Amino acid sequence: MKKFVVLMVMTLLFLGTGGMLMAADGPHVEKVNDNLYVIQGLGGNITVLITEEGVLLIDAGNTRKDGETVLKEIAQLTDQPLKVILLTHYHSDHSYGLSAMPADVPVIATKMTAENLKNIEEVNRKHVIEVGYPKYFKEMEEYIAQNEGVNDEEVQKAKAQVEAAKKRLEAYKSVTLRYPDETFDKEKTIRLGGYTVRFFFPGPAHTNGNAMVRIEEMNILITGDNLFSGMFPYIDIRSGGDAMNLLKIVKEESEKDYAAVIPGHGPVVRGTEGLRDFARYLEYARQEVANAKEKGMTEEEAIEKITLEKYSGLAAPQYREFTIRAFYRAL
């Protein structure tokens, strides 16, 4: 039984960076206003801006198939063609759907996001396909052989896990990494159909390249994974994520006057309440970690002792430790 649990944890780990956030509940479309929609349930949130000069898309889903679904959903919403795609950051649950996007539609991202795709995702991907999955299948095979006739219920569960993993591997392999056609350092302004779309890099936060998007005329902020609403966040310190700067950015943005904020994960929040909630969460976690460090706790002790009890209602409690680890490293 213990081994089985270990194997399941491993499946989560070797799926890589963004893969952990894979959502499998299928697409549902939320209307933010007449020209702005959010597609949820295909990995990270996907934003669709419809204008008289075409469609601007922000992020593209977790697999090639997700990308195809996004194209179908856009066709349901409008006859306008897809004109430009903004990629908030490199994580697979936002970027892999790009492999289904037409080659003549330009993809824009920060320079760091382009570098991360090359230096982190491409390397990680090779490892997942060539080492991670084969190792997992071999271990599961051994586990099944050992338990056949001993614990049939566990064997059935393990077999179902293997089948699901095979499907995930196929979806994973169907993706060809798409690199941005255009990159920027700090800010890029796109004008389309009367809208001014500011794509800007506020400094390292969720990753070292996560950009955010402001649609000026609508007063809307799209955060990428610099905001998780209603759930524990993932702060990717391996990719240069910075908890202290994340807190600063979220606080600053929460003091502005947005009509709605579209997070990277979780529901769209009207006004800035979602940002303010998240800033309070981060501030609370920062304080807890600072106290633990003052008491001389190691990183692992801090993760064990800091329960963030006040936020036990948030979804994805398995991500709690990411916040603690990120503040521990940043303080």
Query: Which residues of this protein are in contact with Zn ion, per CB under 5 A?
Result: 91, 225
Paired tokens of 289:
């970690």
Question: Of 225 and 321, which has the nearer Cβ to Zn ion?
Answer: 225
**Given the complex with Zn ion, which of 16 and 132 has the nearer CB atom?**
16
Shortest distance (Å) from residue 233 CB to Zn ion: 9
- The burial of 210, by beta-carbon neighbours within 10 Å (0-12 exposed, 13-18 middle, 19 or more buried), is given as buried
* Cβ(49)–Cβ(55) below 8 Å: yes
Give 90 or 195: the residue with its C-beta nearer to Zn ion.
90
Task: Report the SS3 class of residue 234.
Answer: coil
Output the smallest distance, CB 225 to Zn ion, in A.
4
As measured in angstroms, the least distance from the Cβ of 18 to Zn ion is 5
Q: In sequence order, which residues have a C-beta less than 8 Å from that of residue 271 and are 6 or more positions away?
A: 258, 259, 260, 261
Q: If phi over 0 gives left and psi between -120 and 50 gives alpha, with beta otherwise, what is residue 271?
A: left
For Zn ion, which is the closer residue by CB, 59 or 288? 59
In degrees, to the nearest 5, what angle opens at C-alpha 228 toward C-alphas 223 and 56? 35
Q: Are 265 and 229 in contact (CB under 8 A)?
A: yes
| Whole-angstrom distance, CA of residue 195 vs CA of residue 124 | 37
CB of 43 to Zn ion, least distance (A): 9
For Zn ion, the closer of residues 115 and 154 by Cβ is 115
| Token digits of residue 128 | 């997942």
Give the gyration radius of the chain's Cα atoms: 20
Of 121 and 225, the one with the shorter C-beta distance to Zn ion is 225
How many other C-beta atoms are found inside a 10 Å radius of the C-beta of residue 34?
7
- The angle formed by the CA atoms of residues 195, 80 and 66, to the nearest 5 degrees, is 100
- Cβ proximity to Zn ion, 211 vs 303, nearer residue: 211
Q: What minimum distance in Å lies between the beta carbon of 27 and Zn ion?
A: 19
d(CA 226, CA 187): 16
Residue of 96, 74, 73 whose CA lies nearest to 21: 96
Whose Cβ is closer to Zn ion: residue 50's or residue 178's?
178
Place of tokens 């807890």: 288
Q: Tell the smallest beta-carbon distance from residue 90 to Zn ion (Å).
A: 8
Report in angstroms how near the CB of residue 135 gets to Zn ion at its nearest.
Answer: 25
